[in-house]
């Protein structure tokens, strides 16, 4: 289905941006500080040195970027996560606050160490990433679960399994939709979280690792976990999903790509927002694909994320 055919379906999101239909999303998981080097080419392997043409420090992390996407799109969002009470943790917290993300439950542990990533981005927008996942307690018993009842949807990545399971169980008990960012993780992580998930959206590498293949047939095979939707994002190949016994596809938008960093995270944030606003899955996929495409026209994982109305204009004008 074309973007134009979905305009009527997603236009209800304008009421979210205007405040007429407020929604609130909780995002839980990884927050990392990204140190980004821009290069003409990626490392080819073995021992080598390449010259950077640019450098910057940015907030990153899957659920963290998703929360920023929700805020920039124009909705209310809280980030629940962990970091160290160190320079990186305070820098991440300040960045969240500047974007309008609620960080009351982004805890900085005195004995913890924050997650830091090194990101190398080439001239075509492709990247290589090395990540230190941080060190902090796994227990999630401090999360304010009474606050979940006020959410319209919740999203988690697989980096804090106890936290995600705790959040998803509470959301399920309140009838609130759960969205899982299916990035790379051990099989037992998905086996624990998928039965608590309504909308599971994998990356191609993660789906291949967990299901043995990223082909569409693998989506149907994962229906055994009981998710309403099982999906896989394919970059310029769009997104495929399995819902109600049928396979569906949404094409990607053709844009001049500057940087793909964070595109999947932005897709997940936009999707959680769309589901929170009551859109059906096809409309949510179309909106999310457009939001992610617009981000790719800009450098950095959080730059270029549109607001809802800008995204609707983009969908009206791009095939």
pLDDT digits (tens, 9 = 90+) for 97-128: 999 999 999 999 999 999 998 989 888 878 88
Q: Under 8 Å CB-to-CB from 263, ≥6 apart: which residues? A: 235, 292, 293, 295, 296
pLDDT recorded at residue 55 = 93
Q: Count of alpha carbons within 13 Å of 208, Cβ hemisphere only? A: 6
- Listed range (44-58, 79-93, 102-116) with the worst mean pLDDT: 44-58
Distance CA 152, CA 285 (A): 18
Query: Mind listing the pLDDT tens digit for each residue in 239-278?
Result: 999 999 999 999 888 888 887 778 999 999 999 999 999 9
Distance CA 85, CA 107 (A): 8
pLDDT recorded at residue 141 = 97
Asked if the model's pLDDT at residue 4 lies above 60, the reply is no
Joined together, the tokens standing for residue 59 give 């907030």
Distance CA 249, CA 267 (A): 15
Distance CA 225, CA 184 (A): 18
Joined together, the tokens standing for residue 11 give 């236009």
pLDDT recorded at residue 2 = 46
Q: Under 8 Å CB-to-CB from 49, ≥6 apart: which residues? A: none
DSSP string computed for 20-83: SS--EEEEEE--EEEEEEEESS---SSS----EEEEEEEEE-HHHHHHHHHHHHT-EEEEEEEE
pLDDT above 90 coverage of the chain, percent: 73
Mean pLDDT, the chain, integer? 92
Residue 58 pLDDT grade (very low, low, confident, very high; cuts 50, 70, 90): confident
DSSP secondary-structure letter at 113?
B
Give the torsion through C-alpha atoms of 291, 242, 26, 128, to 10 deg: -60
Classify strands 199-203 and 229-233 as parallel, antiparallel or unpaired: parallel
Average pLDDT over residues 87-97: 96
pLDDT recorded at residue 239 = 96
Average pLDDT over residues 287-301: 87
- Could you tell me the maximum CA-CA distance found in the chain, to the nearest angstrom? 56
| Structural domains of the chain sorted by starting position, each given as residue range(s) with its CATH number in brackets | 3-132+152-317 (3.40.1190.20)
pLDDT recorded at residue 5 = 47
Residue 1 pLDDT grade (very low, low, confident, very high; cuts 50, 70, 90): very low
Query: Mind listing the pLDDT tens digit for each residue in 180-222?
Result: 999 999 999 999 999 999 999 999 999 999 999 999 999 999 9
Residue 316: closest CA among 295, 288, 292, 287: 287
Contacts 24+ apart (CB under 8 A), 242-249: 242/216, 243/281, 247/216, 247/219, 247/220, 248/281, 248/282, 248/285
- Listed range (131-135, 161-165, 223-227) with the worst mean pLDDT: 131-135
Distance CA 58, CA 118 (A): 10
Q: Count of alpha carbons within 13 Å of 44, Cβ hemisphere only? A: 5
Asked if the model's pLDDT at residue 3 lies above 60, the reply is no
Distance CA 144, CA 197 (A): 20
pLDDT above 70 coverage of the chain, percent: 97
Asked if the model's pLDDT at residue 8 lies above 70, the reply is no
68 vs 4, 93, 181, CA distance in Å? 26, 12, 15
């Amino acid at each position: 289905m074309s973007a134009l055919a979905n305009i009527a379906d997603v236009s209800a999101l304008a009421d979210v941006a205007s405040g007429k239909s407020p929604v609130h999303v909780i995002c839980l998981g990884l927050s990392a500080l990204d140190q980004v080097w821009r290069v003409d080419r990626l490392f080819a392997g073995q021992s080598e040195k390449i010259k950077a043409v640019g450098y910057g420090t940015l907030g990153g992390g899957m659920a963290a970027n998703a929360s920023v996407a929700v805020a920039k799109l124009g909705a209310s969002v809280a980030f629940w996560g962990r970091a160290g009470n160190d320079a990186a943790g305070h820098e991440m917290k300040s960045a969240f606050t500047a974007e309008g993300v609620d960080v009351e439950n982004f805890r900085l542990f005195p004995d913890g160490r924050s997650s830091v990533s090194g990101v190398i981005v080439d001239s075509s927008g492709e990247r290589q990433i090395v990540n230190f996942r941080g060190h902090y307690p796994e227990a999630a018993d401090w999360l304010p679960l009474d606050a979940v009842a006020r959410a319209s949807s919740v999203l988690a990545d697989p980096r804090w399994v106890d936290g995600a399971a705790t959040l998803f169980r509470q959301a399920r008990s309140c009838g609130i939709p759960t969205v899982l960012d299916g990035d790379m993780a051990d099989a037992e992580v998905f086996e624990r979280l998928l039965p608590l998930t309504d909308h599971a959206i994998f990356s191609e590498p993660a789906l291949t690792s967990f299901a043995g293949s990223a082909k569409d047939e693998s989506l149907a095979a994962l229906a055994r976990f009981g998710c309403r939707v099982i999906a896989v994002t394919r970059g310029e190949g769009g997104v495929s999903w399995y819902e109600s016994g049928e396979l569906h596809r949404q094409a990607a938008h053709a844009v001049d790509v500057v940087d793909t960093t964070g595109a999947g995270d932005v897709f997940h944030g936009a999707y959680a927002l769309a589901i929170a606003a009551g859109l059906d899955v096809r409309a949510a996929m179309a909106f999310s694909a457009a939001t992610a495409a617009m981000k790719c026209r800009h450098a950095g994982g959080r730059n270029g994320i549109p607001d809802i109305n800008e995204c609707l204009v983009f969908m009206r004008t791009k095939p």
